[in-house]
Amino acid sequence: MPTAKIEYLGDLRTAAVHVFSGNSIITDAPLDNHGKAEAFSPTDLVSSALVSCMFTVMGIVANRHGIDLNGSFGSVQKIMADNPRRISRLEVDLTVITPGLSEEQKSLLKNTAFTCPVAKSLHPEIEQVIHIQFPNS
């Protein structure tokens, strides 16, 4: 069974449906590449997937160790290159708001984030700059 089904809607827009859940997303080309930027671009999704993956695997480890990550947040900045057009750099900032984490717990969460499946699946030429802050610990 496929993971997703994608339809080209015209005007540089696609609709993707997650087969298992039925949830859907729309993509649109970015302004700097002939699009309207009315939705995530495909490269925006790749960039966002990195942060989502980091939090997902951190959440798995956190649950295993009784750590509550709820309310933690992050952002990603995507830098594009030309010839060929591609993602060249992803700058990620994560903020873990959980109070009272030990240095060992922080290290565990950081290592987990850095080794998430998306991070390990991205081409090695994509520079990943990751900053993780623990302001309440």
Do 78 and 40 meet the contact criterion of CB atoms below 8 Å apart? no
Per-residue pLDDT of the chain (137 residues; tens, 9 = 90+): 999 999 999 999 999 999 999 999 999 999 999 999 999 999 999 999 999 999 999 999 999 999 999 999 999 999 999 999 999 999 999 999 999 999 999 999 999 999 999 999 999 999 999 999 999 98
User: Are residues 74 and 126 both part of a single domain?
Assistant: yes
Task: Note whether 69 and 104 are same-domain residues.
Answer: yes
How far is residue 56 from each of residues 52, 83, 116, 119, measured CA to CA in Å?
A: 6, 33, 9, 12
Question: Is 40:28 a contact under the CB 8 Å cutoff?
Answer: yes
| Total number of domains in the chain | 2
Cα→Cα distances 111→12, 49, 117, 131, Å: 38, 18, 12, 12
Res 46: pLDDT: 98
Same-domain status, 20 and 47: no
What's the confidence (pLDDT) of residue 113? 98
SS3 43: helix
- Which range marks the domain in which residue 64 is found? 42-133
Name the CA radius of gyration of the chain, rounded: 17
- What is the CATH number for 118? 3.30.300.20
Query: How far apart are the C-alpha atoms of 87 and 107, rounded to whole Å?
Result: 28
Does one domain contain both 20 and 79?
Answer: no
Same-domain check for residues 78 and 126: yes
Pairing of strands 86-95, 73-81: antiparallel
Q: Residues 20, 74: one domain?
A: no
Residue 137: predicted pLDDT? 81
